[in-house]
Amino acid sequence: MGRLKRMLAYRHFDRDAAILGLLLAIALFPLRFFASQIYIKTIPLVLGTACILYLLTLRFEGGDTAGHPTLPVGLSRILPSIVFTGIAGLIMIASLGGGRVSVFFDVSSIIGVLILFQILFAPDEDIRPRWVLAQIVAFAVVLRLSALFTSPGYIGIDIWTHMEQLARPIYEQRSLSAISGDKHYAAPFFHLLVVGVAILLEVSLRDALYLSLGLAMPFAVLLIYSTTRLLVATRWALFAAAIYGVGDYVLEWGIHLIPTSHGLLMFLAVLYAMVRVMQTEHELKDLVLLLFFSIALILTHQVSSFIMMVVVGSAVVAQIILRLDLFKPDAVRPDAVSFTPAVNLSGLLVFDAGFITFMWSFTPYRGNSFLETVLNYLTRTLADTAGFLNLASGSGAGSSAGAGSGPTLVEQIALYVDTIGFLLLLFIAIVGCLYILRRERSRHSVFTLLIASVIMLVFVLGLPMFGIRNFIPQRWFAFLYAPLAIMGAIGVRHMSFNLYPKVVVAVMLIFVLIFPGMMVMSSHGAIDNPVFDQDRARLSYTEQELDAVYTVGAMTGRPDSEEIRPNEVIYTDHPYQTVFFRSDTYMADAAVVNDTGPVTHDVVMYRAAQNEEATFFQNYPEGSNVSVAKIRNIPQDRLCRVGMDNLYSNGDVVLCSNGAI
C-alpha cells in the first residue's frame, strides 16, 4: 500500500484524465453510426477536442507564449456605454413589437457578445466589476421581463396548473388545505410565495408571480458570481455569471415560472453556501445558512431536492477521495504545497436524506405516497423499457417530416441551435475539470463541483441513452449549468495563460461570437416566441387565443371533466389544448389529423397559428394503431368542416360544432 501511495504521489492525474478522456471520445465516436441522437454525434467530438486542447496547455505551460490578449484601452472603455444603449434598445423593441420578436433576439445576441468581449479582453485596469455586473444583471432582467410583461397570459404549460388549479384555490380559501390531495401540499413554498405577495400587495396572482419570482430570477447571476469569486479572480467570476445569465434553460425557467424556477433559485443559494463553507474559514452562521437553504429547497420542489442531494453527496464523495491522500502532497515530493483539509458534510447529507424521505413518504401522488410512486415507476422502467440506445424521441425536434423521411434543413438548423450553446459550455467545463485534477489545485470545493458535474451529466445524458428518463433530465440542465459555468470559467482562465496567444484568441472568439446567440435563440430560451416558429411550438398566447378560452368557460359554466361527454370534448392543437383543462375551463384534447382522410371530431377549435406556426396534432401512421404527435400546418376548413356550426369567432380563433354542445 505504501509503495502504491508513493507511485501515485508522482502521477499527473490531470494528464492521465485527459488521455483517458481522449480514448473514451475515440471509443464513443462509432456510436454515431448506430443512433442519430444529437448528443451521441457531438459529445465525443467535444470531449476529444477539449482533452487535446488541455494537453496542449501542458505542452506550452510556463513558456514565453503565455499571456492574456487584451483590447485597446479606448475600445474597452466605450463598450459599457454601447451595452447599456443596446439594453435600452431591447426595451423599446419589445414594447413596439409587442414581445420578443426576431430583431429582439438579434440585438440580444450582439449585446451578449459585447459583454463577453468586454470581460475576456478588457485590460485588468479597465475591468470595473460593479459596472460589468450591472450590465449582466440589466441584460438578464430585460431578457426575461420583456417576455413576461408583453405576454397577455402565462408563458409555458405547467404554469397554468400551478396558478389556476393550485395557487388560486389557496388564495380563495386562504388555506393550504385547498390542495391537500396534491403532491405540492408537502412542498408549497412556491404557491405560498405567490399567494402571500398577492394578498400583501393586493394584486392579481399573475402580477404577484411576476413581482416576486419573476423579478428574483434574473438576479440568480449574482449567486453564480459570488460562488465563482470564492474560487478565482474577479474577471472569471464575471465570465461565469455572464454565461449563466444567458443559458437557454436558465432563461426558460426565468420565463416559465413554476416550482422548478423557485427550486433553481434555492439550489444556487445552497451551492453558494456550500462552497463558502468549504472554501473559507466558516463559522456556525455559515452552516446554519446552508442548512436553512437546504430545508427551504426541500419544501419547494421535489426534483430540485434530489438534484441538491446529488451535489451534497458529491461533496461527501470528494471528502472521502481527498482523505485517501491520493491528491495530498507529502514528504516524498519536493514540490509539495500547502493542502486545505476537506470539510465534513456527511451530517448534512444524512439530515437532507432523512428529511426528504420523511416528507416524500406522506406526500400524496397518484394514489400513493410520492416516494412509493416514484420507486414503483423506476422499477417498472428498469424491468420493461431500459436498454442500451433505447432512446426516447427528442422533444422539441421537428416532427413534420413524414414517416421514414429525414429531417429537413430547417429542422437540422433548429436542432443544432438548441444544442450548440450547451456543447460550448461543456467544452470549456471539461478543460476546467481537467485543470482542477492537478495536485496543487486539489480543493474540496472544486472537487465537489467536478464530481457533481459528472454525476449530473450521467442523469442528463447517460441514463436517457438506456431509456431511463424517470428523473426528468430536461429539468436538470439549468441546475447543471451552474457547476459547468464555474468550471468553464476556470477552464478559460487556464487556457488564456497557457496557450499561444493566437490559439487563445481563436478559441475565445469562437466562444464569444457563437455562445450568446445560440443560447438566446434556442427554443428553450425563446418559448414565448420561437425563432424557428415552423419547427418549435409557441408556448405563449395572444389576447384572442386567451379570450376564446375564457369565453368557452363562460359559455359552458366551467363544467367538471366527468360532466363532459366524449363527443363534447373540444379538439384543437397541442399545446393550445393544455390551456383549457389546466386552467379548469373546459376539457380539451389534441385533434387527430392524419395525412389523409377527414377530421371526424364533433367539436373543434381552430386558431390561425395552426396554419402559420408549429402546432402539434395526433397522427396515426399508415398501418399503425398508435398515435404520434406531429407538426401540421392546416387550413381552417380542415378542422371546421362544411356543415358545422360556428359557435364562437373573434377573427383569430373559431369554435365549431356539429351540434354536440
- Percentage of the chain surpassing pLDDT 70? 91
CB 443 within 8 A of CB 451: no
The predicted model gives 307-315 an average pLDDT of 97
Does 650 score more than 70 pLDDT? yes
Residue closest to 190 by CA, chosen among 151, 159, 218: 159
How far apart (Å, rounded) are the C-alpha atoms in residues 230 and 226?
Answer: 7
Query: What is the number of other CB atoms lying within 10 angstroms of the CB of residue 11?
Result: 12
pLDDT digits (tens, 9 = 90+) for 45-57: 999 999 999 999 9
pLDDT digits (tens, 9 = 90+) for 260-298: 999 999 999 999 999 999 998 888 999 999 999 999 999
Does 593 score more than 80 pLDDT? yes
- Percentage of the chain surpassing pLDDT 90? 72
pLDDT digits (tens, 9 = 90+) for 172-228: 999 999 999 899 999 999 999 999 999 999 999 999 999 999 999 999 999 999 999
- Spatial neighbors of 197 by CB under 8 A, at least 6 apart, are 203, 208, 209, 211, 212
Residue closest to 15 by CA, chosen among 437, 422, 482, 330: 437
Find the range with the poorest average confidence among 250-264, 312-326, 621-635: 621-635
Mean of per-residue pLDDT scores for the chain? 90
Per DSSP, the residues of 209-227 read HIIIIIHHGGGHHHHHHHH
Structure-model confidence comparison of residues 405 and 512, the more confident one: 512
Task: Using the CB atoms, write b or e for 183-197: b if 16+ within 10 Å.
Answer: bbbbbbbbbebbbeb
Does 29 score more than 80 pLDDT? yes
* Res 327: pLDDT: 65
* Res 332: pLDDT: 41
Q: What are the start-end ranges of the H helices in 385-499?
A: 409-435, 444-457, 477-497
pLDDT digits (tens, 9 = 90+) for 474-495: 999 999 999 999 999 999 999 9
- The structure's pTM equals 0.94
Residue closest to 138 by CA, chosen among 104, 105, 108: 108
> Counting Cβ atoms within 10 Å, is residue 553 exposed (0-12), middle (13-18) or buried (19+)?
middle
CB 194 within 8 A of CB 154: no
Would you place residue 335 in the very low, low, confident or very high pLDDT band (cuts 50, 70, 90)? very low
Instruction: Output the CA torsion sign for 414, 419, 421, 423.
Output: negative
pLDDT digits (tens, 9 = 90+) for 107-139: 999 999 999 999 999 988 888 999 999 999 999
Work out the end-to-end distance of the chain between its first and last CA atoms, rounded to an integer number of angstroms. 81
* Res 547: pLDDT: 96
Instruction: Output the CA torsion sign for 139, 144, 145, 151.
Output: positive
Does 530 score more than 60 pLDDT? yes
Does 351 score more than 90 pLDDT? yes
How far apart (Å, rounded) are the C-alpha atoms in residues 599 and 619?
Answer: 11
Which set of grid coordinates corresponds to residue 265? 433559485
- Spatial neighbors of 8 by CB under 8 A, at least 6 apart, are 326
